[in-house]
C-alpha cells in the first residue's frame, strides 16, 4: 500500500489554513451568540467581500459549509432531510445539504451559524444560486438582495455591464449601512481591495510554479486546501501573509526539485469540482499512478488570476465589478472555459485532461460532452470523462471510477511506451 | 364547425413539423428575409418583428426526433429540450435560421447557447441577459441597453435599419395577440367542456411558427366559432397545470390528463406567448417600454425572479382566479428551476390546503402507463370519499 | 345481498375476489381465485373470476358489479369500473388493518409509497419510475445469483450478523457489487440482509416524502420475505403489518370501492369515470 | 518456447486463453466458463480447462495477466490490466486493421478508439446503469420465453420493428408484455429491442472518433441480430471474429507475452501496483 498512499501536501501552511478556517467559524459562532460582527451570505464565485470588509462584516459561504460536511462524510443526512421537504433527487446537492443542515441545526464544526443580516446573492451565472438564496431568505426571514451580474456573452464586459454592477454595488452599500447601522468606511474598502490585489498576485505566482516539472504541489487536490483562506481572507492582511508564506514554501520545494511524487509520471489538467464525499479515495486513484494535476478550472471559481487580472485599488468599485463580471470561472461562458483549458494544457504542458462531471452542478457540467469532443477531436489531447457528484455520496461508483482511471493511465503509459519503441 | 376542427389539425401538423416547412415558405415569400429562433421561455419578439424578421419559438423535437448525436455532448441529468435542440442543429434542421437567441433561464440552456456557437460558427447565436434584480432601478436601464445591443446585431444580420414606427406597430400587434390568448384562456376557464386544453394549447403554440398577423386572425376566428360550440359537461375536477413553461409535454400527455378526469382550467404551457399581464405601453420610447414591461409587467415564472411578488403567491392567486380544485405540477425531467420552485409552491398550497400532484415528463416520452396510473389515482383520491 | 367482484390484473398473475355487502353489517369475502395472466387480459380475468366463483360456490349471474385494477385494468371488457392499483391497494390494506395510515407496495418492477386518511382514501403517494432501482427485481436477481430459492431469501436474511450495504442504484449493476461481496468472502445472509436494508432505505425515503405516520402495511410480493419486514421495522421504527395473503389486497380494495360505486349507482347517481 | 495466459473475468462468463510465442504468436487454447457467484473458482476453472485443452501443465505458463472486473480475484494472476486495454490489444492482434472497438458484454458496453500499435487512444463506457447491455437482451429473451441464441435470427425476420420506450433492463419486460398483449409479432418486438440497444450503444460510441476498421467484441457479438442492428445505425460494416468474446482474454495473453519478452516495462508489472486497487 505504501506506494499507493498520496504524498499529501503537509507544509506548515496546511496547519495554518486549518487555524484560519477555525477562526472564521469562531467569528461566525460569536456573531450567532452576540449579534456582532454583522454577517452576510455570499456566493464564493465572483463575490464582493471587499464591501463587507468596509463594514467589518463577516461573509458566510454556504458552499464552504456544504463541502466541509461532505469531506467529513456528513452530507447524506441533511440531503435526505431536504428531499423529504420536496427537493428533487436531481436538485443541486449543495443546496440540499445546506437547507438540510439549517432544518436539522447541523454545522460543520458543531458551533453555531448566525442568521445572516443580509442574504446577498452575487448572481454570477449560477441560476441555482438565485433559487438557493431565495429559499434561504424564505427560511431564515433574512433580507435578500440579488446583485445581478450580466453573464459574459462577449469577449469582454461592456461599459454598460460595469456601470450596471457598480450601481448595484452602491445600492448594497446603502443597504448595509441601514442593516448594520455602521457607516461605509471608504478607506477600509480601498485597503480591502488592495489586499485582494496582493493575494491575487501571490496566488497567481503559486499557480505558475506548477508549470515546473515536477510540480511542487497538486493544482487540484492541494489547491483546494488553499482555497478556504482564499475565499474567507482574500481582502485581509491575514490573507496576504498566508499566501506570502505559501509562496515561499512552494518556492523552497522548487529550489530543491521536490515534487508531489518522488517521480512525476503524468501531468493532467482537471475540470470540474471534486467528489468531496470521496475526496481522499479519489486522490488515491491518481496518486497510484503518480499523476499530478498541474492546473484545474475548479480552483478558479474564486477568481481567475493566472492570466493577469487583478483588483485595482485605484478604481475600487469598477475593479470589484470587473472581478464579478469577468474574472471568475462561473460567469465566463463555456467557450472561454475551453480556451482556459487549452492554455493550461499547452502552457502547463499536460499529458491529458480529466473531466469530472458532477450531477449537482449544471453550470459546470451541462455540455462537458462537447468540451470532451473539442479537447479530444480538435486539440487531439487524451481526455477522461467520469461522472459522480460533489456532495451526494450516492452517486460515486468506486469500482467503476477506479477502472476508468486505471484504463486512462494504462493507455497513456502504453502510448508513451509504444511511441518510444517505434 | 368544419374549418374550426381543421384549424386544430393544421396547428398540430405545424407543431409536429421538424422540417419547419412553414417557416421556409415564409422566408421564400419574403425574399429570404431573416428568421430568428429563440429558445424558450421569453424573447422580445416585437424587436425581431420590427426589423422585418420572423421570430420562431424553438420548442424541442418532441418524440419525432430520436437523439443520435446530442447525447454525446450533453450527458446524463440534462433535460431533453437542450439535447433535441442541439440534435436538430447537428441534423441540419436549423438551417432556415439566421440567428438563435438564448436568455438567462437556466444553466443548461445557457451552456447550450455557447455549444451551438462552437458547432455553428457561421450562425448568429446570441445570449440576452434578462435582469434578475427588478427591485433595482438600474435594471430597466440595463435591459434597455441590452435590447439596443440586440437591435444593432439584428440590423447587422438583416442588413436593414429598424424604424421606431415599426417597433410601435409590432408592440400593438403583440399586445393584441396577448389579448386574444387571454380571451381564449378565460373562455376555457369558463367552459372547459367547450374547449379542451389540448385544443387551446395547439392554437397558442402555433404562434411559435406563424407571423403574428396570421396568428391573430387564427385566434380571432377560433374565438368567434367557439361562441357557437356545443358540448356536454364532463364530470371532472378543475386543475391548474404549473411547471411546463419551457420543455413542452407530449400532446398525448395533455389529452391523457383530460381523459383521466381533469379540466385544465389554467396552465403555463408556452408561457412566452402570453408573457405580459398588461399591454406594453405605446407612448414612451418603445425600447424602454419593452424593458420596463419585462421588469414590471411580466407574468410570474420560475425563470424570472421578482422578489417584490413571490411566485408562490402568483400560483395561489391563479388557483383562486380559476376556481381550481387542485394543482398538477407537470415538470420536465431534470428541469432544475421547476424542481426548486416546486418546494415553495408546495409549501404555499399546503398552507391554503389545495391538493397537488407532481408528475415528471419528457417531450420524447410516448408510453404513459405509469403516468396514467398516477393521474387516475389522484383523481380517484379527490372523487371517492 | 349485493355481490361485487374485484379483479386485479397484474403483469404476472390475475387475482379475483368476491365480496358481499350485507347492507348493515359490513362486507364478507366469499371467494377468491388466481390465474397466470398470460397475454390475454380478458381471458385471464374471466378465468380468475371463474376460479373465485367456483371457490365460493356461486355463479356468474349472481355478480352485480365488476371492478378491475392493476396494469391490465382496461383490458377487461366486462368491467363496470376500473381503479388504479394504488387506490385499491390503499383501500384493501386499510380494510385489513384499519389503524394503518400508509402502505408500501413493493412489486417486481415498481415500488409505491402511499399515505391515506382514516377512510383509507389516498392522501399522497410516490412511485419509482424510469429505473427499477429498489424494486423486488433487485432480490429476484440476487437470489438467482446466490443460487438460493426466492422462498428462502427472507429466512436466510434473518440470520445476518454483519449486513453489507449495496450502493448501486441499478438492479442489474448491483449484481457486480454482490459478486464482489461474495468473492470478498461475505456470507450469503449478510449480503441478502444488505439488500433488504438498501431496499428499506429507498422505501423509507419514499414513505417520508408522502408523510409517513402511524402504522404501515406492506403489500406486494416482497411482503412474503421476513428479512425485508424486519429491515423495514428497524429502519422505520414503526409497526409493519403484513396481510395474510397480500396477493389479494388490491383485488379486495377494488371490490370495496366497487360496492361504493354500486351503492351510488343504486341511489341513481350515474356511474362515473368509466371510459 | 514462451507460454503465457490471459484470463478475463466478466460479469457473466469467464474466459481464459493460452498463447505461445515462437517467432509468431499463436493461440493454443480457449476456455469459457460461467462466472457464477464464486469468481476466484471460476477464474481457476477457466485457466485449468484452457491448460488441459492446450495439453500443457499449468506450470509451463510463464506469466498470467488477469482482466475483466473480477481481475483482482484471480489468485494465480501475475498482473492485472483493465478490460479496456485488453480488448483493444486483443482486437488489434486478431484484426490488425482495427481502429475502433465496440464491446458489448453482459453488463457494460464500451467503445474504444485504437492506435496503430494497438494502444488505447480514447474510450467510453456505460455508467451506473445496465441499460442497453447484453443483460437487456437476455431479459428480453426470458420474457419472450425463447433462448438467447434464438433472438438474433428471430429479429432478422421483422417487418415493422416496434418502438421500445425504456432502456432499463428491468422495465423492458413490461414494455414487451404490453406489446405482446397488443398482439405484436415476436420478431418485430425483438427487432425493436435490438434497435433500441444499437441506438443507445451508438450514441455512446459517438463520444470517441468512430473510424474503420470497426471490430465488435464481447459475448453479444455472437448475436447476429445485434451485429446487423449496429451496422444499420452505424451505416458501416463491422468485423466480427469468431473469437469476439475472447478478445479481452486474448489481449491479456498478448500483454503477458510482451511482458515475457521484456518489450516494455508497464507499471502494471510491478506487484505493488495492484495495491490500492483491490476490491
pLDDT in tens, A338-376: 999 999 999 999 999 999 999 999 999 999 999 999 999
| pLDDT in the model for residue B2 | 47
For A84, nearest residue in chain C (alpha carbons): C209
Q: Is the dihedral of CA D160, D164, D167, D171 positive or negative?
A: negative
| pLDDT in the model for residue D197 | 87
Q: How many CB pairs under 8 A join C and D?
A: 75
Q: What are the residues whose beta carbons fall under 8 Å from the beta carbon of A349, sequence distance 6 or more? A: A211, A213, A267, A294
Residues D116, D213 within the same domain: yes
Count of structural domains, chain D: 2
Q: Which residues of B touch A164 (CB under 8 A)?
A: 138-139, 141-142, 145
Give CA angle at A94 (A276, C171), nearest 5°.
70
Residues D208, D151 within the same domain: yes
* CATH numbers and ranges of domains, chain C: 2-89+248-266 (3.30.420.40), 98-242 (3.30.420.40)
| pLDDT in the model for residue A266 | 97
Residue to substitute from B85, B103, B111, B333, interface A, most A β-carbons within 10 A = B111
What torsion, rounded to 10 degrees, do the Cα atoms C246, C252, C254, C258 define?
-170
Nearest by CB to residue D39, choosing from C39, C169, C183, is C183
Residues D52, D125 within the same domain: no
Structural domain includes residue D279: no
Structural domain includes residue D76: yes
CB contact under 8 A, B374 and C273: no
Residues D103, D236 within the same domain: yes
Q: Are A269 and A353 in contact (CB under 8 A)?
A: yes
Residues D204, D132 within the same domain: yes
Measured distance CA(D123)–CA(D145) in Å, rounded? 35
Interface check for B77 against chain D (CB to CB < 8 A): the answer is no
CB contact under 8 A, A86 and C209: yes
pTM of the model: 0.92
Q: Which residues of D touch B71 (CB under 8 A)?
A: 203-204, 206
Structural domain includes residue D219: yes
Count of structural domains, chain A: 1
| pLDDT in the model for residue D235 | 93
pLDDT tens, D161-202? 888 776 666 667 777 877 887 888 888 988 988 988 898 888
Interface check for C268 against chain D (CB to CB < 8 A): the answer is no
| pLDDT in the model for residue C168 | 64
| pLDDT in the model for residue A291 | 97
Nearest by CB to residue C205, choosing from A80, A86, A399, is A80
CB contact under 8 A, C131 and D168: yes
CB contact under 8 A, A84 and C208: yes
| pLDDT in the model for residue C205 | 83
Q: Are B315 and B345 in contact (CB under 8 A)?
A: yes
* CATH numbers and ranges of domains, chain B: 21-164 (3.40.50.11890)
For A92, nearest residue in chain B (alpha carbons): B336
Q: Which residues of C touch B381 (CB under 8 A)?
A: 87, 121-123
Among B323-327, B334-338, D73-77, name the one with the lowest average pLDDT: D73-77
- The number of CA neighbours under 13 Å toward the Cβ of B258 is 21
* pLDDT-derived band at B198, boundaries 50, 70, 90: very high
Residues D63, D109 within the same domain: no
Report residue C10 CA to chain centroid gap.
Answer: 10
Q: Which chains lie within 8 Å of chain A at 3 or more CB pairs, if any?
A: B, C, D
Residue to substitute from C200, C201, C202, C209, interface A, most A β-carbons within 10 A = C209
Overall average pLDDT of the A223-243 stretch: 94
Interface predicted TM-score (ipTM) of this complex, two decimals:
0.89
CB contact under 8 A, D170 and C147: no
Residue bearing the bigger pLDDT, B170 or C207: B170
Give CA angle at A392 (A388, A398), nearest 5°.
45
Measured distance CA(B291)–CA(B137) in Å, rounded? 12
pLDDT tens, D229-265? 999 999 999 999 999 999 999 999 999 999 988 767 7
Residues D86, D102 within the same domain: no
Q: What are the residues whose beta carbons fall under 8 Å from the beta carbon of A15, sequence distance 6 or more? A: none
Residue to substitute from A3, A387, A407, interface D, most D β-carbons within 10 A = A407
CB contact under 8 A, D82 and A406: yes
- Residue D161: give the domain boundaries: 98-240
Measured distance CA(B249)–CA(B244) in Å, rounded? 7
Structural domain includes residue D165: yes
**Among D residues 112-131, those touching chain C with beta carbons less than 8 Å apart:** 128-130
Q: Is the dihedral of CA C65, C66, C69, C71 positive or negative?
A: negative
Question: How much of chain D exceeds pLDDT 70, in percent?
Answer: 93
For C110, nearest residue in chain D (alpha carbons): D171
Q: Which chains lie within 8 Å of chain D at 3 or more CB pairs, if any?
A: A, B, C
pLDDT at A2 over 80: no
Measured distance CA(B217)–CA(D245) in Å, rounded? 65
Tell me the pairing of strands D214-217 and D100-104: parallel
pLDDT at B271 over 60: yes
Overall average pLDDT of the A260-287 stretch: 95
Q: Which residues of B touch A85 (CB under 8 A)?
A: 343
**Among A residues 345-374, those touching chain D with beta carbons less than 8 Å apart:** 369, 372-373
| pLDDT in the model for residue C134 | 58
Min CA distance, C96 vs chain D (Å)? 29
- Residue A69: give the domain boundaries: 2-421
How far separated are the first and last CA of chain D, in Å rounded?
A: 35
List of chain C residues with pLDDT < 50: 268-275
| pLDDT in the model for residue D268 | 84
| pLDDT in the model for residue C266 | 75
| pLDDT in the model for residue C158 | 84
Distances (CA, A) of C202 to C127, C189, D17, D122: 11, 20, 42, 36
Q: Is the dihedral of CA D246, D247, D248, D250 positive or negative?
A: positive
Report residue D88 CA to chain centroid gap.
Answer: 11
CATH classification of the domain holding D223: 3.30.420.40
| pLDDT in the model for residue C159 | 84
Overall average pLDDT of the D124-146 stretch: 76
Please name which of B91, B104, B106 lies closest in space to residue B143, comparing C-alpha atoms: B104
Cell of D36: 457464477
| pLDDT in the model for residue C132 | 54
Residues D103, D36 within the same domain: no
| pLDDT in the model for residue C224 | 80
Distances (CA, A) of A370 to A219, A335, B74, B117, D99: 24, 10, 7, 11, 22
Interface check for A80 against chain C (CB to CB < 8 A): the answer is yes
Min CA distance, A150 vs chain B (Å)? 6
pLDDT at B203 over 70: yes
Q: Which residues of C touch D132 (CB under 8 A)?
A: none
pLDDT tens, A285-322? 999 999 999 999 999 999 999 999 999 999 999 999 99
Buried b (16+ CB within 10 A) or exposed e, B255-282: bbbbbbbbbbbbbbbbbbbbbbeebbbe
Identify any residues that bridge with C66 across adjacent strands, giving them in sequence order: C5
CB contact under 8 A, B136 and A135: no
| pLDDT in the model for residue B93 | 92
* pLDDT-derived band at B379, boundaries 50, 70, 90: very high
- The number of CA neighbours under 13 Å toward the Cβ of A364 is 25
Please name which of D10, D15, D33 lies closest in space to residue D104, comparing C-alpha atoms: D10
CB contact under 8 A, D130 and C172: yes
Structural domain includes residue D38: yes
| pLDDT in the model for residue D129 | 64
Question: How much of chain A exceeds pLDDT 90, in percent?
Answer: 89
Min CA distance, A44 vs chain B (Å)? 17
Cell of A298: 475548479
Interface check for A397 against chain B (CB to CB < 8 A): the answer is no
Question: How much of chain A exceeds pLDDT 70, in percent?
Answer: 97
Amino acid at each position: 500500500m505504501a506506494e499507493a498512499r498520496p504524498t499529501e501536501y503537509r507544509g506548515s501552511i496546511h496547519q495554518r489554513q486549518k487555524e484560519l478556517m477555525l477562526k472564521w467559524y469562531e467569528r461566525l459562532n460569536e456573531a450567532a451568540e452576540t449579534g456582532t460582527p454583522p454577517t452576510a451570505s455570499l456566493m464564493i464565485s465572483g463575490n464582493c467581500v471587499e464591501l463587507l470588509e468596509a463594514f467589518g462584516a463577516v461573509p458566510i459561504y454556504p458552499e464552504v459549509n456544504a463541502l466541509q460536511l461532505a469531506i467529513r462524510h456528513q452530507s447524506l443526512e441533511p440531503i435526505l432531510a431536504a428531499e423529504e421537504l420536496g427537493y428533487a433527487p436531481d436538485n443541486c446537492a449543495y443546496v440540499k445539504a445546506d437547507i438540510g443542515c439549517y432544518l436539522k441545526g447541523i454545522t460543520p464544526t458543531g458551533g453555531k451559524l448566525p442568521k445572516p443580516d443580509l442574504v446577498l446573492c452575487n448572481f454570477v451565472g449560477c441560476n441555482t444560486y438565485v433559487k438557493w438564496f431565495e429559499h434561504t431568505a424564505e427560511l431564515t426571514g433574512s433580507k435578500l438582495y440579488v446583485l445581478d451580474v450580466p453573464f459574459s456573452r462577449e469577449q469582454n464586459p461592456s461599459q454598460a455591464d460595469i456601470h450596471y454592477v457598480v450601481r448595484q454595488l452602491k445600492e448594497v452599500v446603502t443597504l448595509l449601512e441601514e442593516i448594520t447601522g455602521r457607516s461605509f468606511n471608504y478607506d477600509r474598502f480601498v485597503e480591502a481591495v488592495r489586499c485582494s490585489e496582493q493575494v491575487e498576485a501571490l496566488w497567481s505566482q503559486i499557480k505558475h510554479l506548477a508549470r515546473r516539472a515536477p510540480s511542487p504541489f497538486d493544482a487540484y487536490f492541494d489547491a483546494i486546501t488553499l482555497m478556504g483562506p482564499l475565499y474567507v481572507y482574500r481582502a485581509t492582511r491575514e490573507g496576504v501573509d498566508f499566501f506570502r508564506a505559501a509562496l515561499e514554501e512552494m518556492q523552497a520545494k522548487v529550489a530543491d526539485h521536490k515534487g508531489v511524487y518522488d517521480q512525476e509520471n503524468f501531468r493532467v489538467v482537471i475540470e470540474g469540482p471534486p467528489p468531496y464525499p470521496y475526496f481522499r479515495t479519489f486522490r488515491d486513484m491518481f496518486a497510484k499512478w503518480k499523476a499530478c494535476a498541474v492546473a484545474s478550472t475548479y480552483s478558479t471559481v474564486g477568481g481567475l488570476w493566472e492570466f493577469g487580472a487583478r483588483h485595482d485599488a485605484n478604481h475600487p468599485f469598477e475593479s470589484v465589478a470587473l472581478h464579478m463580471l469577468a474574472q471568475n470561472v462561473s460567469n465566463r461562458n463555456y467557450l472561454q472555459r475551453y480556451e482556459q483549458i487549452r492554455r493550461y494544457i499547452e502552457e502547463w504542458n499536460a499529458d491529458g485532461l480529466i473531466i469530472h462531471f458532477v450531477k449537482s452542478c449544471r453550470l459546470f457540467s451541462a455540455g462537458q460532452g462537447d468540451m470532451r469532443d473539442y479537447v479530444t477531436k480538435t486539440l487531439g489531447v487524451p481526455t477522461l470523462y467520469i461522472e459522480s457528484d460533489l456532495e451526494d455520496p450516492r452517486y460515486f461508483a468506486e469500482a467503476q471510477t477506479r477502472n476508468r482511471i486505471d484504463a486512462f493511465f494504462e493507455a497513456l503509459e502504453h502510448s508513451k511506451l509504444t511511441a518510444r519503441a517505434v | 364547425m368544419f374549418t374550426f376542427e381543421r384549424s386544430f389539425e393544421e396547428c398540430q401538423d405545424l407543431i409536429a413539423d421538424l422540417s419547419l416547412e412553414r417557416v421556409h415558405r415564409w422566408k421564400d415569400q419574403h425574399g429570404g428575409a431573416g428568421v430568428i429562433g429563440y429558445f424558450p421561455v421569453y424573447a422580445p419578439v416585437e424587436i425581431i418583428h420590427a426589423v422585418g424578421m420572423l421570430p420562431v419559438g424553438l420548442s424541442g423535437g418532441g418524440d419525432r426526433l430520436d437523439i443520435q448525436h446530442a447525447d454525446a455532448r450533453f450527458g446524463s441529468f440534462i433535460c431533453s429540450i437542450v439535447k433535441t435542440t442541439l440534435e436538430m442543429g447537428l441534423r441540419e434542421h436549423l438551417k432556415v435560421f439566421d440567428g438563435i437567441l438564448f436568455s438567462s433561464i437556466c444553466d443548461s440552456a445557457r451552456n447550450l447557447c455557447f455549444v451551438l456557437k462552437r458547432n455553428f460558427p457561421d450562425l448568429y447565436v446570441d445570449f440576452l441577459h434578462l435582469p434578475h434584480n427588478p427591485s433595482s432601478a438600474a435594471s430597466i436601464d440595463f435591459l434597455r441597453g441590452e435590447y439596443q445591443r440586440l437591435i444593432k446585431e439584428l440590423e447587422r444580420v438583416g442588413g436593414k435599419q429598424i424604424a421606431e414606427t415599426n417597433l410601435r406597430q409590432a408592440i400593438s400587434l403583440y399586445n393584441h395577440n396577448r389579448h386574444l390568448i387571454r380571451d381564449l384562456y378565460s373562455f376555457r376557464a369558463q367552459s372547459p367542456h367547450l374547449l379542451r386544453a389540448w385544443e387551446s394549447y395547439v392554437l397558442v403554440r402555433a404562434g411559435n411558427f406563424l407571423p403574428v398577423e396570421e396568428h391573430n386572425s387564427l385566434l380571432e376566428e377560433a374565438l368567434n366559432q367557439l361562441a357557437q360550440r356545443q358540448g356536454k359537461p364532463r364530470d371532472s375536477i378543475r386543475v391548474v397545470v404549473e411547471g411546463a413553461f419551457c420543455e413542452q409535454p407530449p400532446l398525448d400527455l395533455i389529452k391523457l390528463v383530460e381523459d383521466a378526469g381533469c379540466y385544465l382550467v389554467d396552465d403555463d404551457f408556452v408561457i412566452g406567448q402570453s408573457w405580459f399581464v398588461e399591454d406594453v405601453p405605446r407612448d414612451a420610447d418603445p425600447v424602454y417600454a419593452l424593458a420596463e414591461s419585462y421588469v414590471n409587467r411580466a407574468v410570474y415564472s420560475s425563470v424570472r425572479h421578482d422578489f417584490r411578488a413571490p411566485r408562490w403567491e402568483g400560483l395561489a392567486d391563479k388557483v383562486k382566479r380559476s376556481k381550481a380544485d387542485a394543482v398538477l405540477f407537470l415538470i420536465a425531467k431534470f428541469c432544475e428551476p421547476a424542481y426548486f420552485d416546486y418546494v415553495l409552491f408546495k409549501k404555499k398550497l399546503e398552507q391554503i390546503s389545495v391538493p397537488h400532484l407532481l408528475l415528471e415528463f419528457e417531450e420524447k416520452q410516448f408510453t404513459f402507463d405509469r403516468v396514467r396510473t398516477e393521474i387516475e389515482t389522484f383523481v380517484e383520491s379527490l372523487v371517492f370519499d | 345481498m349485493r355481490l361485487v367482484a374485484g379483479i386485479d390484473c397484474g403483469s404476472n398473475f390475475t387475482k379475483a375476489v368476491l365480496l358481499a355487502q350485507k347492507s348493515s353489517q359490513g362486507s364478507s369475502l366469499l371467494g377468491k381465485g388466481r390465474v397466470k395472466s398470460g397475454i390475454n387480459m380478458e381471458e385471464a380475468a374471466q378465468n380468475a373470476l371463474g376460479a373465485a366463483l367456483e371457490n365460493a360456490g356461486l355463479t356468474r349471474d349472481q355478480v352485480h358489479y365488476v371492478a378491475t385494477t392493476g396494469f391490465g385494468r382496461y383490458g377487461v371488457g366486462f368491467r363496470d369500473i376500473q381503479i388504479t392499483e394504488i387506490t385499491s391497494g390503499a383501500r384493501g390494506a386499510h380494510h385489513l388493518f384499519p389503524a394503518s395510515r400508509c402502505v408500501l407496495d413493493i412489486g417486481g418492477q415498481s415500488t409505491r409509497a402511499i399515505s391515506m386518511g382514516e377512510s383509507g382514501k389516498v392522501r399522497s403517494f410516490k412511485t419509482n419510475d424510469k429505473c427499477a432501482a429498489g424494486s423486488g427485481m433487485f432480490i429476484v436477481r440476487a437470489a438467482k445469483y446466490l443460487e438460493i430459492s426466492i422462498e428462502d431469501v427472507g429466512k436466510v436474511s434473518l440470520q445476518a450478523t454483519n449486513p453489507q450495504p449495496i450502493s448501486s442504484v441499478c438492479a442489474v449493476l448491483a449484481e457486480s457489487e454482490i459478486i464482489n461481496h461474495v468473492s470478498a468472502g461475505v456470507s450469503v445472509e449478510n449480503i441478502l440482509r444488505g439488500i433488504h436494508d438498501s431496499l428499506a432505505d429507498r422505501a423509507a425515503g419514499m414513505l417520508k416524502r408522502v408523510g409517513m405516520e402511524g402504522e404501515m402495511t406492506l403489500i406486494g410480493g416482497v411482503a412474503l420475505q421476513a428479512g425485508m419486514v424486519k429491515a423495514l421495522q428497524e429502519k422505520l421504527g414503526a409497526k409493519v403489518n403484513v396481510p395474510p395473503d397480500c396477493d389479494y389486497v388490491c383485488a379486495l380494495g377494488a371490490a370495496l370501492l366497487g360496492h361504493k360505486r354500486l351503492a351510488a349507482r343504486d341511489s341513481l347517481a350515474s356511474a362515473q369515470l368509466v371510459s | 518456447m514462451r507460454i503465457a495466459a490471459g484470463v478475463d473475468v466478466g460479469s457473466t462468463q469467464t474466459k481464459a486463453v493460452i498463447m505461445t510465442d515462437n517467432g509468431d504468436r499463436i493461440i493454443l487454447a480457449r476456455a469459457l466458463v460461467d462466472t457464477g457467484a464464486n469468481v476466484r473458482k471460476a477464474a481457476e476453472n477457466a485457466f485449468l480447462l484452457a491448460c488441459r485443452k492446450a495439453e500443457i501443465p499449468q506450470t509451463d505458463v510463464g506469466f498470467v495477466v488477469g482482466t475483466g472486473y473480477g481481475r483482482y480475484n484471480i489468485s494465480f494472476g501475475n498482473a492485472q490490466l483493465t478490460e479496456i486495454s485488453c480488448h483493444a490489444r486483443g482486437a488489434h492482434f486478431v484484426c490488425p486493421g482495427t481502429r475502433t472497438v465496440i464491446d458489448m458484454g453482459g453488463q457494460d458496453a464500451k467503445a474504444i478508439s485504437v492506435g496503430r500499435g494497438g494502444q488505447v487512444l480514447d474510450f467510453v463506457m456505460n455508467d451506473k446503469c445496465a441499460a442497453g447491455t447484453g443483460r437487456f437482451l437476455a431479459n428480453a429473451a426470458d420474457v419472450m420465453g425463447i433462448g438467447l441464441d434464438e433472438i438474433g435470427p428471430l429479429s432478422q425476420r421483422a417487418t415493422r420493428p416496434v418502438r421500445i420506450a425504456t432502456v432499463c433492463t428491468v422495465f423492458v419486460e413490461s414494455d414487451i408484455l404490453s406489446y405482446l398483449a397488443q398482439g405484436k409479432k415476436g420478431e418485430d418486438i425483438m427487432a425493436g429491442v435490438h434497435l433500441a440497444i444499437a441506438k443507445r450503444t451508438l450514441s455512446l460510441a459517438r463520444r470517441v472518433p468512430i473510424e474503420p476498421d470497426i471490430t465488435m467484441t464481447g459475448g453479444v457479438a455472437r448475436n447476429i441480430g445485434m451485429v446487423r442492428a449496429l451496422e444499420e445505425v452505424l451505416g458501416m460494416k463491422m468485423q466480427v471474429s469468431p473469437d469476439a468474446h475472447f478478445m479481452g482474454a486474448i489481449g491479456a495473453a498478448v500483454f503477458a507475452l510482451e511482458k515475457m519478452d521484456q518489450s516494455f516495462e508497464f507499471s502494471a508489472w510491478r506487484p505493488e501496483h495492484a495495491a490500492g486497487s483491490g476490491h
